[in-house]
Amino acid sequence: MAETGGLFGAEIRDEFQLSKELVHLNHGSFGSVPRSVYEARLERMKELEICPDDWFRYNFVLLVTKGSETVSKLIGSSSSENVVFVENATGGITAALRSLGLKMQSKAGLLVTGLSYEAIRHTAHKVCEIEGHFVLHTINLDPPYKDKFEVVQRYRDYLSSHSDVHVAIVDHITSPSTLLLPVKEIVSVCHEFGVAVIIDGAHAPGQVEINVEDINAEFYTGNLHKWFFCPRG
Ligand SMILES: Cc1ncc(COP(=O)(O)O)c(C=O)c1O
């Protein structure tokens, strides 16, 4: 039998129903939720079965409103009206890209990074090649860097020589290279060049403190116990 080990992990181990025979490391692909979340979910499902009409017409709306208020506080959003639930981080990016794409008068540059998550790169490719709203650009963010300013400088250099870029997708924590990018500073440079930013937060909430007002991107999408998505402006 494997040892669970780890300070935080062992202390909260009983909060999870995961087999004690396993050390589950793949929370990124397939996670498990704490017992309290699991039980609340069963409770909601029971309520739904008892009176579906009431649930969808009234309870659901109230629960979503309450949920966005809670998430809003956790991520430092000034208004819960800027927070909506989506199915996953990829769905949030797709929604943001589609809504920005529809606003574009002509084909604009869409900047992803060489470290972007594969599903996000597929989404970007789709809006460029199939829906035709954007032309795909890729910035090289391969390490090493001396410090975070070097990453920011790479954005400055790229945007200085590619004035057609109008939208950038920036990872908060890259996958699978696990780099924590200086998103606030990258957003600031992008805005200097008139570029709207969608942050792919995927696994950042819970690992690093998030304040969406401070980061100041047009969109931030990420995963909590539930998914959230924060459109701004
Ligand atoms: C940076 C990044 N973006 C997107 C995703 C995909 O997340 P989801 O499955 O919630 O769409 C992941 C998953 O690991 C990720 O690490």
Domain ranges of the chain: 35-74, 84-231
CATH class of this structure's domain 84-231: alpha beta
The ligand 1 atom at the shortest distance from the C-alpha of residue 171 is 1
The pairing of beta strand 108-113 with beta strand 165-171 = parallel
The pairing of beta strand 219-223 with beta strand 165-171 = unpaired
Question: Separation of 47 CA from ligand 1 center, angstroms?
Answer: 31
The ligand 1 atom at the shortest distance from the C-alpha of residue 29 is 14
Question: Separation of 1 CA from ligand 1 center, angstroms?
Answer: 31
Q: Cα(86)–Cα(93) distance, rounded to whole angstroms?
A: 10
Per-residue pLDDT of the chain (233 residues; tens, 9 = 90+): 344 444 556 778 888 899 989 888 877 778 788 899 899 999 999 999 999 999 999 999 999 999 999 999 999 999 999 999 998 899 999 999 988 877 777 789 999 999 999 999 999 998 898 888 899 999 999 999 999 999 999 999 999 999 999 999 999 999 888 999 999 999 999 999 999 999 999 989 888 999 999 999 999 999 875 444 444 43
The residues lining ligand 1, judged by C-beta closer than 6 Å to any ligand atom, are: 28, 88-90, 117, 119-120, 171, 175, 200, 202-203, 223
Query: Could you give the C-alpha distances from 84 to 8, 23, 31, 72, 225, in angstroms and in order?
Result: 30, 33, 21, 9, 14
Question: Separation of 62 CA from ligand 1 center, angstroms?
Answer: 28
| Whether the bond into 176 is cis, omega within 30 of 0 | yes
Contact 226, 68 (CB under 8 A): no
